[in-house]
Structure 1
Amino acid sequence: MSARTGRPWSRLLPNTAPWRSSRDFRLTWTSGTVTLLGSVFTMTAIPLQVADLTGSPLAVGAVGAVELVPTVLLGLYGGVLADRADRRTVALATEAALAVLSALLLVNAVLGTPALWPLYAAAGCAAALQGLQQPSVEAMIPRLVPHDQLVAAGALLSLRWSVAGVAAPATAGLVIATAGVPAAYLVDLATFLVSIALLAQVRPLPSERDAEAPQLRELAVGVRYVLRRPELAGTYLADLAATVFALPTVLFPFLAAESDALWALGLLYSAAAAGSLLAAATGGWTERVHRHGRLVLLSAALVGAATAAAAVCPGGIRSVLVCLAVAGAANWVGDTFRTAIWNQSIPDELRGRAAGLELLTGSAGPALGDVRAGSLAARYGVRAALRSGGLLCVASTGVLAAALPALWRYDPRTDPHVAAVRAAAARVAPRP
């Protein structure tokens, strides 16, 4: 792990060693950032077009339903594909297909009367392609940077999500308001073309396994591997606890209305991202922490505690925003150490399938959380749904800590799985 010198505060800054040591990581990071920023424009434009065409909140909500199933199903297959195919090739092919979808959305938007069905079709196809792509992209990283820089690489990858979450929605809204929906799709298309040009420069990353057609039954091998490692299974469960119980996004419009603060609705959506960005910008300390499993659990508990506090703290909507920002910062910490555990301890030949399972939990958790929060809010009120979700998150995290002591004790310095992966990485060191 590279040491940094200088003023004490400089030790809080993100470690850019992966950027300096690996050209392929720089290209991949930049490509992903450009794609993410552009995709927010389409994610903003599609619901807006559906709302304009139908005037129905149910029709807008159906966009999420159309996206969920392809993401889950194709994400699982994408995990198997990532362990069989060249990961860069998969990323490039899906990126090109996503660019075609943006072009079709642009054509539909400039028609005199845009059709509704292409919006749903594009949303479903884009979700399927992203499900295929994400496991390969995530599984690329440990082959692009040295093993001792994986924590720093994970923090840098989380940073781009934070930046996009804060800056991109506001920028997309401004572009759509001033230049119209077609401009949003044009921006997304342009970012895909830039991303493809960057990814094309990354070296090939062929599978080290026999070149056979991927089979879905191989997914069971990945599931059994995760279940045999309780500390690894615990990282998925901790993520589910946070997203199912303490991700109150569906409540934000009602929370703003109940607080007589509709002006703060946009701030409610961006508060967690702002907290995450602050944590990422001062996350250099994460490299000096070795109890990764403990931090995963404590971070999930803090997400729950901050969410519960948002329901009861005095000070009105401003206090709620602060609590949500704290939850976002804690979630960033948990994501960073979960990623570190996955990247440092999962063998390369299983990393794609593990990423596919992560995509499954990452997609199902928020969807289940919306159902939980919405149903409780309808019966008991918004604040009760917020408070109970936070407390359930804290309680479930405590149960996980007690039931999975291997996760609480996890330390990459002594973990045998990390040692095996480190030895394998040393035999095939990534080129700068």
Structure 2
Amino acid sequence: MRRQLADTRPLRQPDFRRLWLANIVTVIGAQLSIVAVPQQVFEITRNSAYVGLTGVFALVPLIVFGLWGGALADAFDRRRLLMITTTGLVATAALFWLQAAAGNQNVWLVMGLLAVQQAFFAVNQPTRSAIIPKLVPSDQLASASALNMTVMQFGAIVGPLSAGILIPVLGLESLYLLDSVALLATLYAVYRLPPQPVSGERPSVGLRSVIDGFAYLATRRILLASFLVDIIAMVFGMPRALFPQIATESFGDPATGGTALGLLFAAMSVGAVLGGVFSGWIPRVRRQGLAVLVCVALWGLAMVAFGVFVGAASPEGSAWWLWLALAALAFGGAVDMVSAAFRQAILLESATDEMRGRLQGVFIVVVAGGPRIGDVAHGVAAASVGTAVAAAGGGVLVVIGVVICAVAFPAFLRYTVRSAVERGAKG
């Protein structure tokens, strides 16, 4: 059993351990703000259209500064950049608290602060990921990624639940304050890091540097394949936009939402946490490219099963269909976490140090943008063929896409940790 539990060897490295422990606190704090912002916008406007607009104000800076932030991470000392961006995150959380405590009723002030916060986050994340190979041995990169992703998913469960409990007791503004205080833990962990200069030639920080990152990615077929399979999985196989309709039409929730809706949204994160807890086998997998393809195919099959269970359910039917649907989503969350851990390890191992920041920026954009494109695709499909067919059909397309990728990128199918080290991952 011990061999099946998460590989904790990366935590023996003091710098990684401090960052990881601090992240437990800060991820929960960040999730509090993720709940607080749309809630405050709705309280000010009483209009869900404005709540939906927060997605635009968050996504645009995430894409722009995610790509530019990767270039910055390849041009400057990464510890210094983390200090600046983490301080910016603390400051924006504090400003969120001040405006809420002051009784602000200007929704555009909230939107503006959200955009600034996401800009700091978009620079911070690729920089933070790019330093991991300097903190842990190369054979522990997949384990380190699994540990980080487990914390992220844990926060995605605990944070919203905590927010729901704390808002009636402490008030909305207290969530922002808790987020600001929690970020101080990460600021301290970053302060304790040694300098993190970039190896090799430092690029400019303009548009040319971003273009160079895409040009580099285009010549590395292994890295290109890892991004492509993730896009396939998220665009065709992420049915979360259908959850409100499914909860009402298939599982009997009221139109305003209910227990089934909350369970549907939480199921993937629960599965991802379980996948992380029982990820001790990950370091023993050498053919990481094949592992990614298998995991993404299993994700697609899980979504097929989810669609079938949704189609078989009815508001007056057995609750077993709901639990089967939740089990399918949880299994999908578990294999997605494993896939993401391997993809992150491949990216960190295969990319040269002077390119890691820019490729992490692309990674952030893919992770953030793919599910949102998937929301649109599933919404359009469900309007034509229904939620069950849309979810199951998307899963089938994921499996087909994986097969096509395996044929089109045989080097990715053969990719192993050892081959990457020996060949320098020339792709």
TM-score (structure 1 length as normaliser):
0.92
- Tell me, which stretches of 5 or more residues in structure 2 are unaligned? 313-319
After TM superposition, list the pairs within 5 Å mapping 1:25-424 onto structure 2.
25-209=16-200, 213-258=204-249, 259-261=251-253, 262-313=258-309, 314=312, 315-415=320-420, 420=424
Q: CA RMSD in A?
A: 1.6
Distance of 1:241 and 1:129 partners within structure 2: 28
- Tell me, which stretches of 5 or more residues in structure 1 are unaligned? 1-8, 422-432
After superposition, the C-alpha distances for 1:114-133 in whole angstroms (9 at most, x for unaligned) are 32112111111111111111
Cα pair distance change 1:140/1:305, threshold 3 Å: same
Identity of counterpart residues, as a percentage?
A: 35
Contact map agreement 1:41 1:168 (CA 8 A) in 2: yes
Alignment partner, residue 10 of structure 1 = 2
Distance of 2:281 and 2:204 partners within structure 1: 43
Give, in angstroms, the shift of residue 198 of structure 1.
Answer: 2.0
Cα pair distance change 1:418/1:171, threshold 3 Å: farther
After superposition, the C-alpha distances for 1:289-314 in whole angstroms (9 at most, x for unaligned) are 11100111111111111112111125
| Secondary structure in 2 matching 1:414 | helix
Give, in angstroms, the shift of residue 374 of structure 1.
Answer: 1.4
Give, in angstroms, the shift of residue 35 of structure 1.
Answer: 2.0
Distance of 1:399 and 1:63 partners within structure 2: 36
Distance of 2:375 and 2:49 partners within structure 1: 14
Contact map agreement 2:201 2:354 (CA 8 A) in 1: no
TM-score (structure 2 length as normaliser):
0.93
| Secondary structure in 2 matching 1:217 | helix
Alignment partner, residue 315 of structure 2 = none
Structure 2: which amino acid aligns with 1:357?
V
Cα pair distance change 1:146/1:419, threshold 3 Å: farther
Distance of 1:240 and 1:91 partners within structure 2: 28
Distance of 2:104 and 2:23 partners within structure 1: 33
Cα pair distance change 1:32/1:291, threshold 3 Å: same
Moved more, 209-218 or 328-337: 209-218
Give, in angstroms, the shift of residue 194 of structure 1.
Answer: 2.2
Alignment partner, residue 424 of structure 1 = none
Cα pair distance change 1:210/1:394, threshold 3 Å: closer
How many aligned residue pairs are there? Answer: 411
Give, in angstroms, the shift of residue 211 of structure 1.
Answer: 5.9
Distance of 1:361 and 1:398 partners within structure 2: 21
